Chain A
Amino acid sequence: QVQLVESGGGVVQPGRSLRLSCAASGFTFSSYPMHWVRQAPGKGLEWVAVIKYDGSNKYYGDSVKGRFTISRDNSKNTLFLQMDSLRAEDTAVYYCARDPLPVRFAAAGSGGYFDYWGQGTLVTVSS
């Protein structure tokens, strides 16, 4: 069965960095675009970033552009999110999610919907 397990969250001071990981299993990881979506405490969902199946293309939300970097290691079935220059407003649960949309159906570079989600990892940015 499809499993996505995030790790790497924790408490970090403003301006510092953190690297999240998402370990995937139960499917051919290298065939799917992958996303990060976050949810601030008590708030709604906010898309963060996407990376294409082969890492060739990446897109970011405006609130993280220039500070966050999405990457993947298909040999290790793992997705990453490098978060630099963290701010208090980055405090959230970060979910990785799989995108099943075939490329031929994509209307936008950021891909499709999210059919599997991890349980999330909490990032708290506080001094």
Chain B
Amino acid sequence: DTAVSQTPKYLVTQMGNDKSIKCEQNLGHDTMYWYKQDSKKFLKIMFSYNNKELIINETVPNRFSPKSPDKAHLNLHINSLELGDSAVYFCASSPGLAGGNEQFFGPGTRLTVL
């Protein structure tokens, strides 16, 4: 059984389009995250949600809007896509906000903006 799943795994789109990436976890975790991995493999936190409430919003352009309809889902909507948005986006979850909790990562979504 997949613990953290993301759809789609690959997304190719034109500049200016709007797209969404979905994330679901079946671990019963309270906390979910979005990370961005750029072309040089650098990973950076974008958002975190705890019990459907936004906890972290790390200097991400407001074209990126996360939505958490329930604790098991955290979707990422991106408006007016730009070339620089091309990256791999990872969703993750953990039992709670405590620093020592392991974060379980999804398989990633490779977004390519042409």
**A-B complex is real:** no
Residues of A within 8 A of B (CB): none
Residues of B within 8 A of A (CB): none
